[in-house]
Amino acid sequence: MRIHVNTGGLAATNSYLIADETAGVAALIDAPQHTIEPLLKIAQHHDWDVPLLLLTHGHWDHISDHKVYTDHYPHGKVLIHRLDEPKLQHPGSKIFQLPYIIQPRSADGHIQDDDEEIIGSIRLKAIFTPGHSPGHIAFYFAEENLLFGGDLLFAGSIGRTDLPDSDPNAMRQSLLRVMKLPDETLVYPGHGPQTSIGDERQSNPYLT
Ligand SMILES: [Zn+2]
Ligand SMILES: [Zn+2]
Kindly give the distance from the C-alpha atom of residue 55 to the centroid of ligand 1, in angstroms, as a whole number: 11
Total domain count, the chain: 1
pLDDT score for 93: 84
pLDDT of 195 higher than 90 = yes
Give the integer Cα–Cα distance in Å for 176 and 163.
Answer: 20
Kindly give the distance from the C-alpha atom of residue 59 to the centroid of ligand 2, in angstroms, as a whole number: 7
Ligand nearest to the CA of 191: 2
Kindly give the distance from the C-alpha atom of residue 179 to the centroid of ligand 1, in angstroms, as a whole number: 19
pLDDT of 95 higher than 90 = no
Give the integer Cα–Cα distance in Å for 83 and 5.
Answer: 26
Across 34-48, 83-97, 111-125, least confident range: 83-97
CA distances, 53 to each of 9, 46, 85, 91, 197 (Å):
18, 18, 14, 16, 25
CA neighbor of 129 nearest in space, from 63, 163, 179: 179
What would the pLDDT profile of 22-33 be if each residue is shown by its tens digit? 999 999 999 999
CATH number at residue 161: 3.60.15.10
pLDDT score for 96: 85
Residues 6+ apart with CB under 8 A from 168: 131, 161
Torsion of CA 111, 116, 119, 120, to 10 degrees: -150
Residue 195, domain extent: 2-207
Kindly give the distance from the C-alpha atom of residue 23 to the centroid of ligand 2, in angstroms, as a whole number: 31
Q: What is the mean pLDDT of residues 200-205?
A: 97
- Share the mean pLDDT of the chain: 97
pLDDT band at residue 11, thresholds of 50, 70 and 90?
very high
